[in-house]
Structure 1
Amino acid sequence: MYVTADRALSAPADDADATLRELRDRVEIVDALHRFALGQDLKDRDLFASAFAADAELDFAPAAAKWGAAPPLMTGRDAIVDTILALFAGRVDTTHQVTNARVAIDGDTARLTALVEAQHLLTADHRVHALLKNPYDVELARDGGRWVITRMRIDNTWLTGDPAAIFAP
């Protein structure tokens, strides 16, 4: 499920071209998650949508189950973008910080493991907030010169605050 290899690069150390290709792929893979995070925070539809494949899946149920919520599996880039941006627009201010990214590449597919700290504050009253630390398990596919998310599963390690800052009551 998570990327736990004992090293970052798989390219042979003496193959500069393969190493450069792998490093470029790794940067583009992590950038897909950065586009996901910053697109939400800025409420930038185009940036947010650019993170996903057309038929992507986003599963937030493992995280939400920690506080008794049961959101449905989101399927399709447009549905994911519409659902999340509608959930937050004008109601919730967010910041996402991505750390501990680990990547495994297999040809034109990849897996990304990362920790994301997500802060959610009600726009009308920042005293109502939820701060989460979430492990992400992300599958990606090459899309030309960039990578896009095909499946994302978000779990939760801890939460402080009020989950109503994420999901409308």
Structure 2
Amino acid sequence: MDIRDAGLMASALTDSAASDFRPAAAKAGFEYPVLQGRDTIVQALITSLSRVDTTHSVNNPRVTVEGDEAVLDALVEAQHVLKTDHSRSYLMKNRYDVKLVRQGETWRIQHILVDNVWRTGDPAVLAVFDLIRPLKLYSRAECAQRLLRAVARRLLRNLG
């Protein structure tokens, strides 16, 4: 994904693959549809990733194999940096739940579900992804009020 090789990306997916980023997107404040089919997934990622530099690092992979099917659970740290402004970035630690099938000698992704563990940075960086839509946009005043309320709650919790 990080090297933007559509052929390599497609080779990792079955024809009927599905990619579900909805849980992670929701925690970042966005809606993102389930992507159905290898060509749809590859096209969406190649198009969207053309506007950001990314790195994805996989940690703690666990695989369970049963015949020609497998389940992979892993943590993936995903850094997204705007190509036009490297001072703006968004870092996510996501849990990937991946269902794989063996096709001949090759294992391919049939379904991938991505949920977010934590995130930091500017979530607007993800807005370059064509399919992402904000769940709720807050004005600067609303953001300031929400931040002040959160700080006040934390202070009261620490004092009490």
Taking structure 2 as the reference length, the TM-score comes to: 0.78
The corresponding residue for 1:105 is: 65
Secondary structure of residue in 2 paired with 1:156: strand
> Do 1:57 and 1:151's aligned partners in 2 also have CA atoms closer than 8 Å?
yes
Q: Which residue does the alignment assign to 2:79?
A: 119
Q: How does 1:89-104 map to 2 (within 5 A)?
A: 89=50, 91-104=51-64
Report the Cα distance in structure 2 between the residues aligned to 1:110 and 1:46, rounded to whole angstroms.
23
Q: Map residues 3-82 of structure 1 onto 2, 5 A cutoff.
A: 40-82=1-43
Mapped partners of 2:127, 2:107: distance in 1: 29
Let me know the Cα RMSD of the aligned residues.
1.0
Counterparts of 1:95 and 1:163, CA distance in 2:
16
Kindly indicate whether residue 94 of structure 2 is the aligned counterpart of residue 167 of structure 1. Answer: no
Alignment of 1:137-152 (within 5 A): 137-152=97-112
Segments of 5+ residues of structure 1 without an aligned counterpart are 1-39
Report % sequence identity: 50
Structure 1 runs of 4+ aligned residues shifted over 4 Å read none
Match of 2:31, SS state, is coil
TM-score normalised by structure 1 residue count: 0.74
AA paired with 2:67?
G
State the SS of the aligned residue for 2:39.
helix
Which structure: greater strand fraction?
2
Contact map agreement 1:96 1:117 (CA 8 A) in 2: yes
Q: Which letter does structure 2 place at the counterpart of 1:121?
A: V
User: What letter corresponds to residue 116 of structure 1 in structure 2?
Assistant: V
Whole-angstrom CA distance in 2 between matches of 1:163 and 1:51: 28
Q: How many residues align?
A: 129
Mark the structure with the bigger radius of gyration. 2
SS of the residue corresponding to residue 2 of structure 2 reads helix
